[in-house]
């Protein structure tokens, strides 16, 4: 759609000062309206057009749009044939105007995106050698808005590993010992941390943002620190990039 969602939050008025004090805002859910054309061909496209087939097509569309128990995928196909996916619910279907002897029609469907972004394919920096502390590396976020759907997969040995994003000052650390050959998974979007499958969320320390980590659009300069490393220590960083 290309439209930014509305902001949540406001600047704070200050007594005896002009204007207000700036506050960081969050994005609210948003709506996307799509213009639809309803034809009267059957599914194979071989049958004769008729008002009865147009009505059947309308009811098939309504069957899809009327789902309320779950969100469904709203898929945006890009010019290069890649896909970006948002989870959405159809909240309004209106302005149905029949044409051509009721064999075609136009309508508008409104979709509510509780998470306002479309997401592209995962970007993965796989099995980076981090046996030296500190280790600096760049991670490129191809999306258009900052994202927190980041997973850090740490292959031990490593003690108290920390990742800092120098692009925005956000950092996350887990105060645990990751045994050799075992994995510590920090899922910043799901707010989870598991060390060899065991719950480790109580050992997470993070700063700079409410989320464990944010990656900014473009190049992010990341740094890794830990102790107890060996030549087998690795870090895999995965981002599900958000787009407007």
pLDDT in tens, 58-100: 999 999 999 989 999 999 999 999 999 999 999 999 888 998 8
Give the pLDDT band (50/70/90) at residue 1.
low
Higher-confidence residue: 40 or 89? 89
Instruction: Report the predicted TM-score, pTM, of the whole model to 2 decimal places.
Output: 0.89
Give the residue-averaged pLDDT of 152-166: 98
pLDDT cut 70: percent of the chain above it: 99
- How far, rounded to the nearest angstrom, does the alpha carbon of residue 220 sit from its chain's CA centroid? 17
pLDDT score recorded for residue 47: 67
- The single residue listed with the structure tokens 């309004």 is 92
Question: What 3-state class would DSSP assign to 115?
Answer: coil
The answer to whether 170 touches 207, Cβ cutoff 8 Å, is yes
CA–CA gap between residue 130 and residue 156 (Å, rounded): 10
The answer to whether 38 touches 57, Cβ cutoff 8 Å, is yes
The answer to whether 32 touches 110, Cβ cutoff 8 Å, is yes
Mean pLDDT, the chain, whole residue set: 95
Backbone angles phi, psi at 179, to 5 degrees: -70, 160
95: left (phi over 0), alpha (psi -120 to 50) or beta: left
- The single residue listed with the structure tokens 């948003």 is 30
Interacting residues of 80 by C-beta distance below 8 A, sequence separation 6+: none
CB atoms within 10 A of CB 114: 12
Encoded tokens for 119: 């997401």
CA–CA gap between residue 135 and residue 30 (Å, rounded): 39
Burial of 164 (0-12, 13-18, 19+ CB in 10 A): buried
Encoded tokens for 121: 């394919």
55: left (phi over 0), alpha (psi -120 to 50) or beta: alpha
Give the pLDDT band (50/70/90) at residue 3.
confident
Give the residue-averaged pLDDT of 169-176: 98
CA–CA gap between residue 51 and residue 100 (Å, rounded): 9
pLDDT cut 90: percent of the chain above it: 88
């Amino acid at each position: 759609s290309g439209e930014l969602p509305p902001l949540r939050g406001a600047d704070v008025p200050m007594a005896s000062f002009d204007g207000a004090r700036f506050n960081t805002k969050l994005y609210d859910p948003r709506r996307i309206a799509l213009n639809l054309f309803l034809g009267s061909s059957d599914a194979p496209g071989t049958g004769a057009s008729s008002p009865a087939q147009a009505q059947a097509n309308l009811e098939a569309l309504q069957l899809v749009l009327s789902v309320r128990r779950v969100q469904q995928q709203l898929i945006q196909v890009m010019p290069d044939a890649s896909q970006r996916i948002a989870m959405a619910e159809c909240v309004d279907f209106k302005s149905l105007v029949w044409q051509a002897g009721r064999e075609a029609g136009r309508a508008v469907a409104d979709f509510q995106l509780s998470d306002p972004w479309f997401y592209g394919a995962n970007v993965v920096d796989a099995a980076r050698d981090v046996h030296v502390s500190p280790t600096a590396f760049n991670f490129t976020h191809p999306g258009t808005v900052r994202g927190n759907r980041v997973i850090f997969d740490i292959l031990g040995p490593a003690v108290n590993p920390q990742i800092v994003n120098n692009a925005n000052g956000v950092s996350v650390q887990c105060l645990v010992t990751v045994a050799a050959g075992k994995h510590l998974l920090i899922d910043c979007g799901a707010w989870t941390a598991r060390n060899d499958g065991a719950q480790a969320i109580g050992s997470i320390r993070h700063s700079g943002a409410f989320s464990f980590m944010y990656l900014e659009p473009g190049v992010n300069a990341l740094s890794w620190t830990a102790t107890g490393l060996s030549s087998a220590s690795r870090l895999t960083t995965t981002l599900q990039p958000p787009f407007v």
